[in-house]
Amino acid sequence: MHDTRGRGIIGEDARNTKVARMAAKSTRTESRAKNRQLILQHIHAGIADSRAALAHATGLTKPTVGDIVSTLIDEGLLVEAGRGKSTESGGKRPRLLEFLPSARQVIGVSIQRDRIIGALADLNGEPLVHHELPLRDVTGEDPLDLLETVINGLAAQLTSELLCIGISTPGVVDTSGGVVRVARRFGWKELPLAAYFARIYAVPVYVGNDTELATRARLAMQAAEDVRNIVTVIIEDRIEVGFAFAGRAYHHSDDLGKLQLASDDSHGWIDRLGWAALQLQATRLRGNYPQSQLPADWDTIDLLYGLHMGDALCARLYDDIAANLGRVFAWIVGLLRPDEIVLAGAMADLGTALIDRVEAHTRHLLPSGLVDNVAFSVETDATLSLNGALVLSLQNELGILR
Amino acid sequence: MNVAIVTNDATQVYQRQVIAGIQNQLQHSVDDIAIINTGEALAHLEPGAFDSVDGVLVIAHTLADDTLLALHTAGVPLTLISHQLPGTDIPAVVPDNAGGIAQLVHYLVNGAGRTRIAFITGDHNQTDGRERTTTFRREIMRAGITLDDALFLPGDFSVDVAVRSVQQALANGLQFDALAAADYLMAQAAVNVLREAGVSIPEDVAVVGIGDGPEAADAGLTTAGINVTQIGIHAARQLLAQLHGSHIRGITRIATSIVHRSSTPQPAHTTQ
């Protein structure tokens, strides 16, 4: 009989020891990566500008700070830029440290309704050049191939080393794993999108839902410091909601475009929220407004212009969409009490004239105390999700822009 | 590797600056850069004319669509500059026309309080020309200003045509308090016509144009500036990547930025 017990026990011990060593090493590696991000974050945000100030602000030991700063200088991410003032006790003047945004470049891409847009940016997330591929002429082609040609268009413009790539996509996305759980538009299911492009470009790739990324960008780049909870509602050929809580946790819905808002349309209300419902409502009401100048093939700008020019049909459509949006916003505000609620996507082109009406409807539906501290805004920047992809990648890779 | 730059007139200001950018970027990467002067727009060239080159850069609408398609179909690395071929995915480098026009309209309306803005159009056979007119129309609508077709003056990216249009508008008594042009050379010409007619700039009429150059600076013209040399540099990089096997589709857009000069009042508010 072949006795393996003793050998097995010894082998198990050895394995356990090895696993324990690997775990400790992994913990040390993770810890160093976190400390590195902490240091970059403090310098980038202007909280500390010297080794001593970093040690004081982060709570890390001076040797740890010195070691990581040296590595960051070697990598070109930090530079020493002169000396600061000596301390009150007359200590040595510290060497000042500066973050170098041109040290690497990042690529962000965003799949939109009618095009794929992308940007090559510096390490502050400032776009240096944009590239886009209209989707009208490429129906039926593999979206992965299309994404790749856009990334190639941006990679062609690199003037320093590529650090990482961020991708914004519609659908339900597991951001931490870089996996698209489901994106019905492309028939994607459990697609490891980040891994796919990481293999091609040999850099880290981060993937997020576009509405969630729009919220992330809004929070990171545009919101006031006291705005920590933001909800973004994107309305175009789909409806999605993105959330940012306490500036840390992010979440997103799936497409809510099929949700029915009213059980019947006996009062002439549109029963859904999206673009198609509004167009249907325009067709339904047109006979009541024979003087209307709204063209048959209208878009948001035509509607906005009609409102400016006093067109009664346009005014009615504004009121209808605002009433519906007001109901949805009232639920969101009532449930989540955000600091800011943002309307984005094609519907945002209807401008402040729409959001002012939505706010009035929301106020009418809720106790005033719930609404008083909520800012209502529109975001017409079509690159918001793209900026979010850049922010996501820089947050993950360097720990900055939080 | 050999590269060809195709232009209708290498002596023009715009083309000269683009070519300088391309040459600057490619001088150490390729063996030879040939400049093919067609002497005309929409030239028909046989693909055989490019047998000795590995890649082609085409400035504006210089080559006929069928020539471009033949090159593209033959797999010749190709980059279009300030032009796109609709219905194809031939890579291109273009100025951000929509962004530039939006900046100018925002500047005139919100910064200078102007509400009757005339627009000298470009050549509608060119992508740049069409895009700039379409965007101007939409931005006027977005701003809530009454659209008036009489305020659209033909320019065709030609100083002579622009001059005649502005002269005609003044003779017809057309009322406007601002004038934007689809390129800065037409805007500069309009400044001269208006001044000769005794119109005070910017008090009576504020004038702006898209694109920028020494002529705009000399004329004190406010512009949505485009670094044209940078367009050449970006185009050269795009072609170079293709020559190294990268598959690129779509359009690289170069951003514009407002250059304030004396043809407009000091803006009260321009946040865009």
Among the listed residues A383, A392, A398, the one whose alpha carbon sits nearest the alpha carbon of residue A127 = A383
Listed in sequence order, the residues at least 6 apart from B213 whose beta carbon sits closer than 8 Å to its beta carbon are B13, B17, B184, B185, B228
A153 and chain B: CB distance < 8 Å anywhere? yes
Closest-approach residue (CA) in chain A for B253: A130
Q: Both tokens of residue A285?
A: 């009401």
Give B147's contacts in chain A (Cβ within 8 Å): 305
CA A323 to chain centre: 28
Average the pLDDT over B265-271 and give the result: 66
pLDDT at B46: 78
| Overall average pLDDT of the B65-94 stretch | 91
The residue of chain A with its CA nearest to that of B138 is A301
pLDDT digits (tens, 9 = 90+) for B7-44: 988 888 889 999 999 999 999 999 999 999 988 777 78
Task: List the structure tokens of A260.
Answer: 């029915």
Q: Which tens digit of pLDDT belongs to each residue from A200-213?
A: 999 999 999 999 99
What DSSP element (H or E) covers B32?
A: strand B32-37
Segments of chain A scoring below 50 in pLDDT: 1-10
Contact residues on chain A for B247, CB-CB shorter than 8 A: 148-149, 152
> How high is the pLDDT of residue A2?
43
CA A106 to chain centre: 15
Confidence check: pLDDT of B68 > 70: yes
Measured in whole angstroms, the distance separating CA B45 from the mean position of its chain's CA atoms is: 24
Contact present, A115 and A133 (Cβ < 8 Å)? yes
With an 8 Å Cβ cutoff, is A218 touching chain B?
no
- Residue B126 to residues A164, B61, B62, B84, B121, Cα–Cα distance (Å): 37, 6, 10, 8, 11
Tell me whether B74 touches chain A (CB under 8 Å). no
CB pairs under 8 A between A and B: 77
B216 CA: distance to closest CA in chain A (Å) = 24
Instruction: Tell me the shortest Cα–Cα distance from B94 to chain A, in angstroms.
Output: 10
Gyration radius of chain B's alpha carbons? 19
On the question of pLDDT at B93 being above 80, the answer is yes
First to last CA, chain B: 43
ipTM for the complex? 0.86
Q: Please indicate if any CB of chain B lies within 8 Å of the CB of A143.
A: no
Higher pLDDT, B118 or B269: B118
Give the per-residue pLDDT at A218: 86
Interface contact A149-B251, CB threshold 8 A = no
Instruction: Please tell me the predicted confidence (pLDDT) of residue B271.
Output: 44
Q: Burial letters for A300-321: b for 16+ Cβ neighbours within 10 Å, e otherwise?
A: bbbbbbbbbeebebbbbbbebb
B223 neighbors B187 (Cβ within 8 angstroms): yes
* CB within 8 Å: A132 and B250: yes
A155, A173, A143, A343: which is closest to A253 by C-alpha? A173
Q: How confident is the model at residue B197 (pLDDT cuts 50, 70, 90)?
A: very high
pLDDT of residue A17: 66
Please provide residue B73's backbone torsions phi and psi, each rounded to the nearest 5 degrees: -65, -35
- What is the rounded distance in angstroms from the CA atom of residue A393 to the CA atom of residue A399? 9
pLDDT of residue A4: 39
How far, in whole angstroms, is CA B121 from its chain's centroid?
11
Which amino acid is residue B258, in one-letter code? I
pLDDT in tens, A84-127: 877 667 677 888 999 999 999 999 999 988 899 999 999 999 99
CB contact under 8 A, B249 and A129: no
Crossing angle of helices A300-308 and B127-142, in 10° steps, is 40
Q: Give the 3-state secondary structure of B91-125.
A: CEEEECHHHHHHHHHHHHHHHCCCCCEEEECCCCC
- Which of A149, A168, A262 shows the shortest CA–CA distance to A206? A168
What is each CA distance from B268 to B98, B112, B257, in whole angstroms?
Answer: 23, 7, 17
